[in-house]
Chains A and B, each alone.
Chain A
Amino acid sequence: MNWLSQIASITRFGLMSIPQRRGAVAATVIGIAGVVAVLVGVLSMAAGFRQAMTVSSSPDTAIVLRSGADSEMVSGFSREQTQIIADSPGVARTAQGPLSSAELFVIINLPKRSTGTDANVPLRGVEASALLVRDNLRIIQGRMFDWGKDEVVVGSGAAREFAGLDVGSSIKVGRYEWPVVGVFSANGAICESEIWTDAKVLQAAYHRGDSFQSVRAKLTSPDAFQKFKDSLTSNPQLTVTASRQSEYYAQQSEAMTRLITSLGFSIAFLMAIGAVFGALNTMYSTVAARTREIATLRALGFGGGAVVVSLMIESLLLALLGGVAGASLAYFAFNGYHTSTMNFQSFSQVAFAFRVTPQLLLQGMSWAMAIGLIGGLLPAIRAARLPIAAALREL
């Protein structure tokens, strides 16, 4: 009898005996499922957050801030400076002029729908070309605000997460009441968490004179960025930092993503240790229960290696089952779950949806297999090294 068929028949015996020890097996499977569900669940939060921050920021869009400012909130430009930036080489142009938008960025308090407590919602003042600078931005409900009028449009994420942003209602900014006239979407991009109005309207309401906080520019091509950046940094009239929008948002999301990811990994790691102990327990008791059977097989000429491999297969199969259960649980419970959180780097809320990505599922499965491997190895080795004569005497 060859080795492979030995493995097959021992494995088959093992699997057939599962119903007799269903309690122990279920405990192992559910333990592993728990680890995978928590790991994938927590990491899907980080993945969703990161996605919301970085999706659809094409590499040919640049953002310019005052040098030393780490976010739009603390940056500042005069109108003249924004015009110099708009006229720099590398900026794409249309018949109406350069594709660049000077913007203001402030926050207002609005209650979260979920908790009713105040949240910092970003309010952005934009220029007409803002809609062209961003990709795929479109009004999905109502209409765009009229330029120069006290009106706002809200991002679809903001409309979903914060109270009082339905079309027809109005937001209170100081002594002003601004009607919400439309909802826009942008393929899940970060601006969906924002409220938009005309920059001039916001300047007046916030006594900002004719000043702005950031400039976004569409470049002629992704490669034009270096030329654009060099012309800004060499201009003595400006002290600015220019970055690609994609890099800017990746950096803005870094701290939060790191926090969630590191917490997720440490929680899952501890749980995994617990699950390994559970799996070891189950496999050791499996081996104990099958001592006589294994000894008989060894006496009949089955090899020690075959015993080890088949016990490992059994353990890995249980882990696989647990992994699949945990990953599906995480997928159905969390994928697409909408929420919002505070991004401390921009001091404002980001609306996002949990994302259970294929990579995360794969990662969850590999954790499950690792638990199965560690939990199965030692018991399998013990089984293979049983002294045959002594074990048979237990008959």
Chain B
Amino acid sequence: MKYFHLVWSNLKRKKLRTLLTVLSVLVAFVLFGFLSSIKQALTGGVQMAGADRLVVRHRVSIIQLLPESYKARMERIPGVLLATHQTWFGGIYQDPKNFFMQSPVVPEEFLEISPDFILSPEQKKAWMQTRTGAIVGRKTADKFHWKIGDKVPIQSSIWSQANGNRTWEFDIVGIFDGKEKGTDTTPLFFRYDYFEEARVGGKGMVGWYTIRVKDPGQAAETAKLVDKEFENSDAETKTEPEGAFVQAWASQIGNIELMVVAILGAVFFTILLVAGNTMSQAVRERAGELGVLKAIGFTNAQVVALILVESCLLSVLGGGLGLGLAWLLISRGDPTGGLLPLFFFPGRDLLIGAGLSLALGLATGIFPALQTLRLRVADALRRM
């Protein structure tokens, strides 16, 4: 530590070069932050999935409906604690670009199976008492400035009411928050009994079921039992753990992981070259001084350490600033305007980023540092 001022004054020697290098490292880490968040937004649902939950959908495809009567049959299957359903509503509020999900649900069951949504007891009570009541997630409520008591008209692209009207009016009776950072608080949920009575067509049919199982260890067995129950019926089912369901959903978009890794690979390779080149330039210029250090008794290890500390300092400085800037930018929200509801900087990736900045420092410093081992004191001094 007592040589820290030496490292520091070396960095200050060419302020412009140091600044430019720090900035290029910074940019790499801003990108790292952004891409991690995009990946999280597209695939993060997998981590949020409950280990004790199964998703049951129509075997042919999720657009086909399942009978509401399946609920009772599912709940008789050993291992199933609770089954509840949702249905894709396909609603538009004002503009098709304002996308968020809406679904009719059976309030009590739904809240019980989704402990990640936090709704106050009074609001819950109000929902039970208001037939046309709906609860909406904090994010969507904030986006449209909805308050409790508001009436919101939502136009469904799928469901029409008896009078042919496709615009459904809901009373906002509650605004729910997410228990965790990764909880999606964009959807709106309204009451199935109101929906069932008012809709034309598809009566008695629902979109998909969520099941809570008694023992997560037995989830796969229970899933098989559910599918067996409905085998050879008009609506055969496909049951899988929620995690697998979400994973498959993300894979429909493409291999996101691979794309993110490929782009980050290109970015870091580039930055490694730029920063590595700067370091070796700095060491080359300083050969004479390093010779003096050795001549006055610095060991090889000390000289190597001096250079590594310098390169790590440079990279950690850039990395830290970059991650901070990324965090600031990302907390301003989804850059695509609604397509990525779960856009935030995951804490795990923040740690990976910190580790990566240190690794980058070591990688850029190691070759110039090793060059100094070959530096003979007499030669170096002659260059002065």
Among candidates B24, B63, B263, B278, residue contacting A274 with C-beta atoms closer than 8 Å: B24
Among candidates A109, A263, A271, residue contacting B38 with C-beta atoms closer than 8 Å: A263
User: What residue in chain A is nearest B280 (Cβ atoms)?
Assistant: A23
B221 interface hit (Cβ, 8 Å): no
B163 interface hit (Cβ, 8 Å): no
Q: Is the CB of A270 within 8 A of B234?
A: no
B336 interface hit (Cβ, 8 Å): yes
If A108-B61, A262-B336, A274-B270 touch, whether A267 touches B247 (CB-CB below 8 Å) is no
A113 to B62, CA, bound (A): 20
B62 proximity list for chain A (CB < 8 A): 107, 109, 120
Among candidates B60, B236, B248, B270, residue contacting A34 with C-beta atoms closer than 8 Å: B270
User: What residue in chain B is nearest A342 (Cβ atoms)?
Assistant: B252
Q: Is the CB of A274 within 8 A of B28?
A: yes
A319-336 residues at the B interface, CB under 8 angstroms: none
B328 interface hit (Cβ, 8 Å): no
B111-164 residues at the A interface, CB under 8 angstroms: 155, 157-158
B252 proximity list for chain A (CB < 8 A): 112, 117-120, 341-342, 349
If A108-B60, A339-B254 touch, whether A267 touches B17 (CB-CB below 8 Å) is no
Q: Is the CB of B278 within 8 A of A281?
A: yes
From residue B157, how far is it (CB to closest CB) to chain A in Å?
5
- Chain B interface category by residue count: 35 or more
Among candidates A109, A115, A271, A280, residue contacting B270 with C-beta atoms closer than 8 Å: A271
A270 to B123, CA, bound (A): 45
Q: Is the CB of B27 within 8 A of A274?
A: yes
A275 interface hit (Cβ, 8 Å): yes
Majority-rule SS of B interface residues: helix
A206 to B236, CA, bound (A): 13
Among candidates A26, A107, A174, A263, residue contacting B59 with C-beta atoms closer than 8 Å: A174
B235-258 residues at the A interface, CB under 8 angstroms: 236, 238, 247-248, 251-255
B214 proximity list for chain A (CB < 8 A): none
B49 interface hit (Cβ, 8 Å): no
A112 to B35, CA, bound (A): 25
A18 interface hit (Cβ, 8 Å): no
A275 to B20, CA, bound (A): 10
Among candidates A117, A263, A342, residue contacting B247 with C-beta atoms closer than 8 Å: A117
Q: Is the CB of A34 within 8 A of B267?
A: yes
A339 proximity list for chain B (CB < 8 A): 254
Assuming A23-B280, A27-B277, A71-B157, what are 7 further A-B pairs, CB within 8 angstroms? A27-B276, A34-B269, A37-B266, A68-B155, A68-B166, A106-B63, A274-B23
Q: Which residues of B come within 8 Å of A, CB atoms? A: 16-17, 20-21, 23-24, 27-28, 30-31, 34-35, 38, 59-64, 90, 92, 96, 155, 157-158, 166, 232, 234, 236, 238, 247-248, 251-255, 263, 266-267, 269-271, 273-274, 276-278, 280-281, 335-336, 339
21 of the cross-chain contacts (CB-CB < 8 Å) are A35-B270, A38-B267, A68-B157, A74-B158, A108-B61, A115-B255, A117-B251, A174-B234, A174-B236, A258-B336, A267-B34, A274-B24, A274-B270, A274-B271, A275-B24, A277-B23, A277-B274, A281-B274, A339-B254, A340-B254, A342-B252
